[in-house]
Amino acid sequence: MAETPLAQTSSSNQLQLSESPPPKPYHAKRPHKKSRSGCQSCKARKVKCDEARPICRTCRLRKADCIYAAPPKLQKSADTTPSSFSDSLDDGPLSNSKPAAASPTSTKLASISSTSSVLCSTPILSLAEKHSVQSSSIPAELLCCPMGIDEADMKALWFYATQTCTSFSTVADDGHKYIMRSLLVRYGPESPFLLDSIFALSGLHMQRLNQQFDAKRALSYRVKALAGYRKAIEEAKPGDFPALAANSLLLTALSSEHFREPDGKQLYILDWLVVWKGILLVMDLVSKSTVVESGLNGLFFRPKSDVEKAAAYIPSHLLLLISSISPSDPEYPLRETYVQTLKYLGSLYMDLAQGPSPMMSLRTITIFTFLPSLYIDAARMLRPRALVILAYFATFFKLVQWSVWWLEGVGDRTLRDICLYLDARWRPFLQVPFAALDAQDHSQLAKILLEDANGVTSPESLMMGFDVQIGQKGGCCEILDAH
């Protein structure tokens, strides 16, 4: 039997080894646990979800609805890098405080969720059928509703999600709509006062549209919302901070109902100024970083104002009103405050001169958040010049009332109250507010304001024919004396 030489055998084996792939190095598999608590959107797209609450990073970037099927587990706050707060509040944040340092607040906010929510699709579906709406168009966030709400609550919530949330402001982009419809509804169960405010705002909207809704129920919502809001401010629980910030804005609309009540308080505008000032106070409590982390910063958008450029649009008779203050006048220390306030008024005139727009309406609506605190205090002290200037702001509120439903009556009521309160000494400076009271439509009122922006040479020229106008109105002679 022939034997194979050893050398030949060795070379043959080497040839076979060279033709076969080299063995892969062995690595033990790292343990992996599949996440089952991601949001529904990420699961549907089969992408990794960071499980941040209330909105995961992926959904926030895609501006998609972020729905969780289960309560959150204890976890660290997700890494979020939203745009700076000043990107939405271009003239600075609605806060006078310094940026907050890192605190447990962000961790607590990360755990805010819909743990008190349950699947409540049956009332939703019946409501959809009642309104002839296909069940497929039901907003996803309404499929998880708080426990203990009845049919009237569901009606209010449905109307809010389909109508009210998109008509709250002149900003109608998808981001604002998402915050109003999705985020606020999700924060509601954790902070019931916010949910009551949502119900109240929806009920108020239905009443303005002459739709059937129990007036007593609507009033009950408002009372509960205010009481819960005050209590939440006193307790100052970090978990309520996002809801407090959002609620401070909703209250501006809810409290506007007092302007439309026939027996409402005279000069209610002075109380409304406090409501707007409350936004600043709440923002001091909540902090800028908390609002950004909560995803609500889009609600606080304010258009930029070039107040120095706007100074050229201030009506000359209003500048004369301030420049004529003598050193012996009690309002003399307020001269600089009044000038600064008039610059913000000039920004509204400048917007109108460039043509009415949603941004002009938004600047008008948020104008009280810009005004100096000293001016607001002066108005509440019934300083005559402060009230004269306030009447001009009220004229612009009347101009934009056709843009936002809850502003209806704010301008007219304020104009009437101020014109009745100030005596004859101030009537030369109130010609435009008096004319605005008679304006019946947007174009007529805009014309009155644009003509005023051209300036008036002297208060004496305003007096010509003014007595005739007062006599035609009737009842304006019975005016309380001002300071």
97 and 104 Cβ atoms separated by less than 8 Å: no
Grade residue 93 by pLDDT with cuts at 50, 70 and 90: very low
Strand partners, 145: 118
Least confident of 44-48, 144-148, 220-224: 144-148
The torsion angles phi and psi of 358, rounded to 5 degrees, stand at -60, -35
pLDDT digits (tens, 9 = 90+) for 25-38: 554 545 445 556 78
Residue carrying the six token digits 């009210």: 164
Predicted TM-score (pTM) of the model is 0.68
The number of helix segments (H) and strand segments (E) in the chain equals 25, 2
Q: Give the pLDDT band of residue 24 (cuts 50, 70, 90).
A: low
pLDDT tens, position by position, 293-303? 888 988 888 88
- C-alpha–C-alpha distance, residues 347 and 342, integer Å: 9
Comparing 251 with 107, which gets the higher pLDDT? 251
Of the ranges 140-154, 171-185, 226-240, which one carries the lowest mean pLDDT score? 140-154
Q: What is the reported pLDDT for 15?
A: 44
Q: How far is the CA of 400 from the CAs of 289, 306, 348, 414, in angstroms?
A: 32, 21, 11, 14
Per-residue model confidence (pLDDT) at position 392: 97
Contacts 24+ apart (CB under 8 A), 128-137: 131/158
Distance, CA of 368 to CA of 372 (rounded, Å): 9
Pairwise pLDDT comparison (198 vs 16), residue with the higher score: 198
At residue 51 the predicted structure's pLDDT band, cuts being 50, 70 and 90, is: confident
pLDDT of the residue at 403: 86
Q: State the CB neighbour count (10 A cutoff) for residue 291.
A: 29
- Higher per-residue confidence, 462 vs 381: 381
pLDDT of 181 reads: 83
Mean pLDDT in the chain? 75
User: What pLDDT shows up at residue 479?
Assistant: 22
Backbone angles phi, psi at 145, to 5 degrees: -120, 155
pLDDT in tens, 347-362: 999 999 988 888 899 9
pLDDT score recorded for residue 386: 97
Q: For the chain, how many residues are written? A: 483
- Write the pLDDT tens digit of every residue in 238-293: 989 999 999 999 999 999 999 998 888 999 999 999 999 999 889 888 888 888 88
